[in-house]
Chain A
Amino acid sequence: MSAITVDNISKKFRLPHHKKTTLFQHALGLMKRQMTYEEFWALRDISFEVEKGETLGIIGRNGSGKSTLLKILAKVLYPDSGTVQISGKIASFLELGVGFQPELTAAENIYIYASVLGISRRETGMVYDQILDFAELKRFEDMKLKNFSSGMYTRLAFSTAVNCNPDIMLVDEALAVGDTAFQKKCMAKIDEFKAQGKTIILVSHAMDTVRKICDRTVLLHNGVIVSLGDTDSVILDYASLSGSAGLKPEHIPLAVDWDGDGRQELCLFKHGLWFIDMDHDGEFDPRSDKKLGPFGVQPGDIPLAIDWDGDGRQDLAIYRQGKWYIDINRNGTFEPGEDLELGPFGGQPGDIPLAIDWDGDGRQEMAIYRPGGKWLIDLNRNGIFDPGEDLELGPFGVHPGDVPMAIGWDGDGRQDLAIFRKDTLYIDTNRDGLYREGTDLAPLGPSPLAEAGTPLAIDWQGNRRQDYCIFLDGNWYMDSERNGLFLEGGYIRFGPFFR
């Protein structure tokens, strides 16, 4: 049951060249027949749902449409197209203390403000003491509002608003109220709201607050939704939008057997955070799934899942400028000393790292696919490529844009080398480092879907065979036919990963 359903709303503002506010000016304008205003889309095709009991953050730069969206939800503004459905009593705090009359006493103003918020006199009477206690203004009950300090004023307003027991709260940066102690109380009240299963929508620039209380977050930019989903990753999208992190909002899909049950989980690496779909439903749900990190991101980092120690569970790792950083203590972050740092492997530009269990001993080795088509596998497991001791295979055949992969296709316990080229997957099943049609497995593909997406190998079913999977636009496509064609009915789709 969703509390708020926003379906495809757009809002257009008029920016008049000369503001005309009188009949006379309008009459003149009619005679001159000039274009009197420009149109400006404040919001365009906004759709999302908010579940009951969920806290949704709305972030974005100034002028991105946050407040317009909130005002539409509050019914102050009307969308030009699209619909908004709201179920439940809604209280909007676009501004605190709307309708306060300075000449009246605090007690009278509580009733006035409550009625503006849609609360009857009788209902207000029931929470009246609660309001004054929460605001810590019991002594000033009969004082005229004009003699209040601004802190007292906002405390009274906030207290009245939160004690009116709405189902849905729309909050626009109103939380910066009062001193530290009062702010703590407000946060506690908000946690209480969340525990009671109330829905909150928060517009804020304070990322700490958003991170603390929002389950999901929407990032608006120039009136469109740029990113919607897990709060941490959306905040990082925002940071990259503002240019402060210097990162592109990239998602890198991975398959990782985190829990060691023999089935690999879907995982998305985004801004140094790992999102692991522990319950195998193809979607990331903060309540049932796992989020780890941040690992610390640098441009060019490549995430990997590797079962280095052979305990049946794959660990997370980052390949950074020729070095391997393996999160042995499994907390999603890299701590020097506790975690493993290996290499440098060689570190030529364009090297692509792989984790591969070449020899089938249950431990994965590190490997590098070097542009030109060579495979370098670190068989002696020291993180450095030693000619003679380690394995050099290939060349596989060069083609720009090739993606190397290790895949346990045949289920013999050893992973084979494979190359994804344009839209087709070539697996070296006879393990000589070369791909030859006839002696190796027939090419899997071609497929237009694969061409648009990112390939990965995953043992989704836990049958010790890895399947071919394509990640595209937040969805996972499992090649259930095992022919790489991804035709209608020949795949199982999961996702979208982030709702």
Chain B
Amino acid sequence: MGTTSSVYAIAGKPSLVTKIYIPRKILVLSNMLSNLISSLLEFIIIIPIVYVVLGHLPETIVLFPLIFLIYFWFVYGIALFLSSVFVYFRDLSQIWEVLVNVLFFLSPIFYPMVQITDRTRFFYLLNPLTEFVIMYRDVMIYGTLPAWYSLVITITASIAAYVIGSITFNKLQRRFAEEI
């Protein structure tokens, strides 16, 4: 997750905030882009592994960039929120690290969704990461198209994250230079 390092995107560059005017979202975006590059490299490693294991590459893998784009905007929205709030609450980084761990184990990454009982399934689906994991699996391993509702949920979640993140960021950024 790129969000952990994005927490420091603003507070970690004091001179670019207090000494000069640049649109501050650029700092978050640049942090996101460098995370994007490293995670793209990770995905590139997966592709030959998938080929070796499956013996072929599913055609649906061409949908991967689309899902990745939705995922990127989702993370960007969260990063905007976290980086601006962190300027005021410096223990957010520790809190967030714990939360990310919790979310990680609460998403079906080490285990498939079929192992989830019907009773807890609903709560799993509340986690937007679940849908992303399911979609990635669909296109990269199973070779099936992602479900429509998964797309709708993730796109909605991305837009919501971006809007909330932007509003928070715009509101809080007015006093960045004073707080850092």
Per the bound structure, the CA–CA distance linking A92 and B21 in Å amounts to 8
A100 to chain B: closest residue by CB: B15
Would B177 and A71 count as touching, CB distance under 8 A?
yes
Would B21 and A22 count as touching, CB distance under 8 A?
no
Would B19 and A76 count as touching, CB distance under 8 A?
yes
Shortest Cβ distance from residue A458 to the other chain B in the assembled complex, whole angstroms: 49
Q: What chain A residues lie within 8 Å of B92 (beta carbons)?
A: 23
Q: What chain B residues lie within 8 Å of A98 (beta carbons)?
A: 15-16, 19-20
Q: Residue B38 at the A interface, CB < 8 A?
A: no
Q: What chain A residues lie within 8 Å of B89 (beta carbons)?
A: 21-23, 26
Report B168-179 CB contacts with A as 1/0, cut-off 8 Å: 000000110110
Per the bound structure, the CA–CA distance linking A14 and B95 in Å amounts to 26
Q: Residue A411 at the B interface, CB < 8 A?
A: no
Per the bound structure, the CA–CA distance linking A94 and B178 in Å amounts to 15
Q: What chain A residues lie within 8 Å of B177 (beta carbons)?
A: 71, 76-77
Q: What chain B residues lie within 8 Å of A99 (beta carbons)?
A: 15-16, 20
Q: Residue A95 at the B interface, CB < 8 A?
A: yes
Would B20 and A92 count as touching, CB distance under 8 A?
yes
Q: Residue A74 at the B interface, CB < 8 A?
A: yes
- Report how many residues on chain B are interfacial, defined by Cβ distance under 8 Å: 18
Would B19 and A95 count as touching, CB distance under 8 A?
yes
Q: Residue A117 at the B interface, CB < 8 A?
A: yes
Shortest Cβ distance from residue A83 to the other chain B in the assembled complex, whole angstroms: 14
Which of A14, A22, A94 contacts B90 (CB under 8 A)?
A22
Q: Name B1-34 residues within 8 Å CB distance of A.
A: 15-22
**With A21-B89, A22-B91 as contacts: A117 and B20 at CB distance below 8 Å:** yes
Per the bound structure, the CA–CA distance linking A388 and B17 in Å amounts to 79
Would A76 and B21 count as touching, CB distance under 8 A?
yes
Report B80-99 CB contacts with A as 1/0, cut-off 8 Å: 00000000111110010000
Report A91-130 CB contacts with B as 1/0, cut-off 8 Å: 0101100110000000000000000111000000000000
B95 to chain A: closest residue by CB: A23
Q: Residue A75 at the B interface, CB < 8 A?
A: yes
Q: What chain A residues lie within 8 Å of B88 (beta carbons)?
A: 21
Q: Residue A498 at the B interface, CB < 8 A?
A: no
Q: What chain B residues lie within 8 Å of A92 (beta carbons)?
A: 20-21
**With A22-B89, A23-B92 as contacts: A13 and B178 at CB distance below 8 Å:** yes
Would A94 and B95 count as touching, CB distance under 8 A?
no
Q: What chain A residues lie within 8 Å of B19 (beta carbons)?
A: 76, 94-95, 98
Q: What chain A residues lie within 8 Å of B91 (beta carbons)?
A: 21-24
Q: Name A19-74 residues within 8 Å CB distance of B.
A: 21-24, 26, 71, 74
Would A76 and B17 count as touching, CB distance under 8 A?
yes
A80 to chain B: closest residue by CB: B174
Q: Residue A148 at the B interface, CB < 8 A?
A: no
Q: What chain B residues lie within 8 Å of A23 (beta carbons)?
A: 89, 91-92, 95
Would B175 and A95 count as touching, CB distance under 8 A?
no
Q: Residue A182 at the B interface, CB < 8 A?
A: no
Would A21 and B174 count as touching, CB distance under 8 A?
no
Per the bound structure, the CA–CA distance linking A95 and B21 in Å amounts to 12
The winner among B19, B88, B90, B178 for most chain A CB atoms within 10 A is: B19
Q: Residue A140 at the B interface, CB < 8 A?
A: no
Q: Residue A494 at the B interface, CB < 8 A?
A: no
Would B174 and A76 count as touching, CB distance under 8 A?
no
- Report how many residues on chain A are interfacial, defined by Cβ distance under 8 Å: 21
The winner among A13, A24, A116, A118 for most chain B CB atoms within 10 A is: A116
Per the bound structure, the CA–CA distance linking A320 and B90 in Å amounts to 65
Q: Name A453-483 residues within 8 Å CB distance of B.
A: none
Per the bound structure, the CA–CA distance linking A22 and B95 in Å amounts to 10
Per the bound structure, the CA–CA distance linking A223 and B17 in Å amounts to 23
The winner among A23, A74, A94, A118 for most chain B CB atoms within 10 A is: A23
Q: What chain B residues lie within 8 Å of A95 (beta carbons)?
A: 15, 19-20
Would A118 and B178 count as touching, CB distance under 8 A?
no
Per the bound structure, the CA–CA distance linking A76 and B174 in Å amounts to 8
Would B20 and A74 count as touching, CB distance under 8 A?
yes
Per the bound structure, the CA–CA distance linking A92 and B89 in Å amounts to 29
Q: What chain B residues lie within 8 Å of A118 (beta carbons)?
A: 22
Per the bound structure, the CA–CA distance linking A74 and B177 in Å amounts to 12
Q: What chain B residues lie within 8 Å of A94 (beta carbons)?
A: 18-20
Q: What chain A residues lie within 8 Å of B15 (beta carbons)?
A: 95, 98-99
Shortest Cβ distance from residue A94 to the other chain B in the assembled complex, whole angstroms: 5
Q: Name B156-180 residues within 8 Å CB distance of A.
A: 174-175, 177-178
Per the bound structure, the CA–CA distance linking A363 and B177 in Å amounts to 65
Per the bound structure, the CA–CA distance linking A24 and B90 in Å amounts to 10
Q: What chain B residues lie within 8 Å of A75 (beta carbons)?
A: 21
Q: What chain A residues lie within 8 Å of B17 (beta carbons)?
A: 76
**With A22-B90, A23-B91, A95-B15 as contacts: A78 and B20 at CB distance below 8 Å:** no
Per the bound structure, the CA–CA distance linking A76 and B177 in Å amounts to 6
Per the bound structure, the CA–CA distance linking A21 and B179 in Å amounts to 9
The winner among B17, B20, B174, B177 for most chain A CB atoms within 10 A is: B20
Would B22 and A116 count as touching, CB distance under 8 A?
yes
Q: Name B39-77 residues within 8 Å CB distance of A.
A: none
A113 to chain B: closest residue by CB: B20
Q: Name B123-173 residues within 8 Å CB distance of A.
A: none
Would A78 and B21 count as touching, CB distance under 8 A?
no
Q: What chain B residues lie within 8 Å of A117 (beta carbons)?
A: 20
A-B contact pairs, 24 of them (CB 8 A): A14-B178, A21-B89, A22-B90, A22-B91, A23-B91, A26-B89, A76-B19, A76-B21, A78-B175, A92-B20, A92-B21, A94-B18, A94-B19, A94-B20, A95-B15, A95-B19, A95-B20, A98-B15, A98-B19, A99-B16, A99-B20, A116-B22, A117-B20, A118-B22
Sample of 19 further A-B pairs with CB below 8 A, known A21-B89, A23-B91:
A13-B178, A21-B88, A21-B90, A22-B89, A22-B90, A23-B89, A74-B21, A75-B21, A76-B20, A76-B177, A77-B178, A78-B175, A92-B20, A92-B21, A94-B20, A95-B15, A98-B15, A99-B16, A99-B20
Query: Could you list which residues of chain B lie within 8 angstroms of chain A, going by C-beta atoms?
Result: 15-22, 88-92, 95, 174-175, 177-178
